[in-house]
Amino acid sequence: MSRMHSGKRGKSGSTRPYRTSPPEWAEYQPQEIENLILKLAKKGENPSMIGTTLRDQYGVPNVKLISKERITKILDKKMKREIPEDLMNLIRTAVNLEKHHAANPHDTTAKRGMQLAESKIKRLAKYYVREGRLPAGWAYDLAKAKLLVK
């Protein structure tokens, strides 16, 4: 997979083994998995951290194999989440870059990074509005983003 804003190829990653059924040593039932996911979400963990916690502490190899749904689908069904995790991470990055740029106005590299981050935010937001995961009038604004991150 190549990088979005550079001509480089990026790092190749490992692929998970192809499976269609959960391994026989997996001891959790789908309802138990959903309860664990909801418990961790109420603590304030995001979906990627929930998956890591389930894998490392509870021995769940893959949530989708056991419960037939991804973690985000389970959370969307049971709890109302406002902004998707990847978009929120990009917004945090943009806010941190803005703080850095305010303290270091001559750092043009950071300014370019801010432009690239905002471009990714707008592209991803357009996709989420089209898919219905964000309201139709949702638009990125740095002032609102600062309030959202705090």
- Dihedral angle sign, alpha carbons of residues 15, 20, 26, 31: positive
Per-residue pLDDT at 87: 94
Superfamily of domain 85-149: S15/NS1, RNA-binding (1.10.287.10)
Contact assessment for residue 99 and residue 113, using Cβ atoms and an 8 Å cutoff = no
> Tens digits of per-residue pLDDT, 56-94?
999 999 999 999 999 999 998 888 778 899 999 999 999
Contact at 8 Å (CB) between 62 and 16? yes
Q: For the chain, give the percent of residues with pLDDT over 70.
A: 97
pLDDT band at 35 (very low <50, low <70, confident <90, very high): very high
- Is residue 2 very low, low, confident or very high in pLDDT (cuts 50, 70, 90)? low
Distance of CA 109 to the CA centre of its chain: 25
Q: Is the distance from CB of 72 to CB of 47 less than 8 angstroms?
A: yes
How does residue 15 score in pLDDT terms, banded at 50, 70 and 90? Answer: confident
pLDDT at 149: 85
- Res. 26: pLDDT tops 80: yes
pLDDT at position 1: 43
DSSP single-letter state for residue 117:
H
